[in-house]
Structure formats: C-alpha cells, structure tokens
Chain A
Amino acid sequence: AQTVTQSQPEMSVQEAETVTLSCTYDTSENNYYLFWYKQPPSRQMILVIRQEAYKQQNATENRFSVNFQKAAKSFSLKISDSQLGDTAMYFCAFMSNNDMRFGAGTRLTVKP
C-alpha cells in the first residue's frame, strides 16, 4: 500500500520569507500523481499544486513550487514570499490506480 509521510507536524515562518514543507511517499507504481492541498482554519480544502510523475519539470503556481525527486520519492513544497493568508494545514497527497492517500499534514503558521 502507498504511504505518504509528512515529517514536520508544525512549522512557522516570518511573513515574506520562504518555507519548505517536506513530503515523502512509498510506492511501487511508476505512473501516479502528487498533490499539495491547503486547509485553512475555515476548513475548506483547496488544491495548491499538482505534479504528474511522468513529468520531470517541477510544477509551479505563482509563489508555490515543488521539488519533485522521483528516485528519492520526495515531493516538497516551497512557499516563497509567505503571506499571512498562507497560514493553514498543508496536506501532501498521492494518487494512482484508484488509490488516494494523504499525509498527516503540516500546520504552517506565518508570523507578521
């Protein structure tokens, strides 16, 4: 079974600085997708970024980018120029062949 590990339960960053959230996963699949979802205090889950495993180029979405290392099974999220609105739980997720699993989440606090 696929597992997703987020080793940082909590992190904090100063506003305008950069922070990296880590995620590793375990799978024997070759074709899969990876996601980062954000869950702010409002509880609404929102997709931050998505990466297809067959693409070598790292996905980017404005201030959010990933460092996808397929061989190492690592999928970290970098948030640049952190904003107060980035304060949330961040979940790393893995999906392949009808199986979707989420990590335990990292609680990120952006401090003014």
Chain B
Amino acid sequence: DAGVIQSPRHEVTEMGQEVTLRCKPISGHDYLFWYRQTMMRGLELLIYFNNNVPIDDSGMPEDRFSAKMPNASFSTLKIQPSEPRDSAVYFCASSLTSVYNEQFFGPGTRLTVL
C-alpha cells in the first residue's frame, strides 16, 4: 500500500481564497483524522471520521473550516475564506478498526496564506 496520500504537498494562496486539501487513507482503514500543526499551537486534532461519518469536530477552529468524507477512499478539508493565521501544516491520518490503534500519517500539506 502507498500509505496515506495527501495533496497538494504545498499550497500558497492569498487571503480570502478558498483552499481545499485532499486525503486518501490507507485502503481498509475505518478511521480518518485531520490535524493541524503550527509552531504556536503544536499538533491539534481538527476532526475525525469513522466509516465516513464525522464523529468529533470539536477541534475545528471555526465555521470557515469544513471537512467531508464522501467515500471510504477520499476526504477533503476546506477553508473558505482563508486567512494568514491558517498557515500551517495539515496532516491526514488513518487507522484500522479502532480509534486507539496506530495512526498512519500522510506527509502533510504545508499551507501558506499570504
């Protein structure tokens, strides 16, 4: 398996633009997580899905952020409109069977909002 795939790897956009980050989990994994990593706040869990259903989105910072998982092999994290403070590395991770199992992380998307 290729592991968790994220695209794009780097994204530079201007304030106010819509940004869509994409993730393909490992095939067969039931759980998918979205994280944000910044120097100031460290690594934060934004939202996670179980069998394509959002379970906990309490980490989503505000209404500008939304995440979807239309099927077992694809998820998106959208920011609209984007702001400079959204600049961060966004990680997607997936795990098998249980939320407590090992999470396999993707390489991350480095987002820069100018």
A residues neighboring B (CB under 8 Å)? 33, 42-47, 50, 52, 91, 95, 98-105
**Per-residue contact bits, chain B 70-110, to A (CB 8 Å; 1 contact, 0 not):** 00000000000000000001010100000110110101100
Cα distance A104–B39 in the bound complex, in angstroms: 9
Residues in A whose Cβ lies below 8 Å from that of B105:
44-46
In this assembly, does B14 line the interface, its C-beta being within 8 Å of a C-beta of chain A?
no
In this assembly, does B45 line the interface, its C-beta being within 8 Å of a C-beta of chain A?
yes
B residues neighboring A (CB under 8 Å)? 33, 42-45, 55-56, 89, 91, 93, 99-100, 102-103, 105, 107-108
Quick check: A45 and B91 within 8 Å, CB to CB?
Answer: yes
**Nearest Cβ on chain A to B1's Cβ, whole angstroms:** 15
A102 contact from B42, B56, B89, B100, Cβ within 8 A: B42
Query: Mind listing 17 A-B residue pairs with CB under 8 Å?
Result: A33-B100, A42-B107, A43-B107, A43-B108, A45-B91, A46-B105, A47-B103, A50-B102, A52-B100, A91-B42, A98-B99, A99-B56, A100-B45, A101-B45, A102-B44, A102-B45, A105-B42
CB nearest to B33 among chain A residues: A100
CB nearest to B101 among chain A residues: A50
Quick check: B93 and A45 within 8 Å, CB to CB?
Answer: yes
Residues in A whose Cβ lies below 8 Å from that of B102:
47, 50
Given contacts A43-B107, A44-B105, A45-B93, contact A95 B42 (CB under 8 A): no
Task: Beyond the given A44-B108, A91-B42, A98-B56, please list 19 additional residue pairs across the A-B interface where CB-CB is below 8 A.
Answer: A33-B100, A42-B107, A43-B89, A43-B107, A43-B108, A44-B105, A45-B103, A45-B105, A46-B105, A52-B100, A91-B43, A95-B100, A98-B55, A98-B99, A100-B33, A101-B45, A102-B42, A102-B44, A105-B42
Residues in A whose Cβ lies below 8 Å from that of B43:
91, 102, 105
**Nearest Cβ on chain B to A5's Cβ, whole angstroms:** 11
Residues in B whose Cβ lies below 8 Å from that of A95:
99-100
Cα distance A110–B102 in the bound complex, in angstroms: 25
Residues in B whose Cβ lies below 8 Å from that of A98:
55-56, 99
By CB atoms of chain A within 10 A, which of B43, B102, B105, B107 has the most? B43
